[in-house]
């Protein structure tokens, strides 16, 4: 189960809506080994695409150095789908290389009248996708 604060949930949703119709992407870091998302980090979608996201390689290197320096890890890796449901695509699955992370997908298809708003979380390990419950809390 992903437990996340309302404030972090709202930041992820706001970023997804702001970048629509392009996919938004980012990370929520937390203390290493804690499974507790704490620090919101919006990233630039280097692909600037409505159907694909890609972290800028320089930004990603900088992020991982910062995480190491702060003894943090990516607890949540998120991105949005702008015209489809919030479910990992084949490409999303192939790029999922953090087995301990929660992969959050937000569908902003409702912004175009193409579907309902969705906020869903998945574990992706060795190509296997497992949806998990999302619990939104005020504080930890």
Taking the domains of the chain in order of start, what are their residue ranges?
2-137
pLDDT higher than threshold 80 for residue 65: yes
Mean pLDDT for 4-24 is: 97
Q: What is the per-residue pLDDT for 91?
A: 94
Mean pLDDT for 22-51 is: 97
Q: What is the per-residue pLDDT for 50?
A: 93
Superfamily of domain 2-137: Cytidine Deaminase, domain 2 (3.40.140.10)
Residue bearing tokens 């702060």: 70
Q: What pTM was estimated for this model as a whole?
A: 0.95
Q: What distance in Å separates the CA atoms of residue 18 and residue 90, rounded to the nearest whole number?
A: 25
- Quick one: how many helices (H) and strands (E) in the chain? 3, 8
């Amino acid at each position: 189960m992903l437990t996340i604060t309302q404030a972090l949930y709202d930041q992820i949703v706001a970023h997804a809506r702001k970048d629509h119709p392009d996919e938004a992407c980012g990370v929520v870091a937390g203390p290493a080994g804690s499974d507790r998302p704490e620090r919101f980090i919006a990233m630039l979608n280097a692909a600037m695409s409505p159907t694909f996201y890609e972290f800028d390689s320089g930004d990603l290197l900088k992020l991982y150095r910062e995480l190491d320096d702060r003894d943090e890890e990516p607890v949540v890796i998120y991105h949005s789908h702008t015209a489809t449901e919030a479910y990992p695509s084949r490409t999303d699955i192939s790029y999922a290389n953090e087995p301990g992370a929660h992969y959050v997908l937000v569908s902003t298809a409702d912004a175009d009248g193409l579907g309902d708003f969705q906020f869903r979380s998945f574990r992706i390990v060795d190509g296997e996708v497992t949806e998990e419950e999302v619990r939104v809390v005020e504080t930890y």
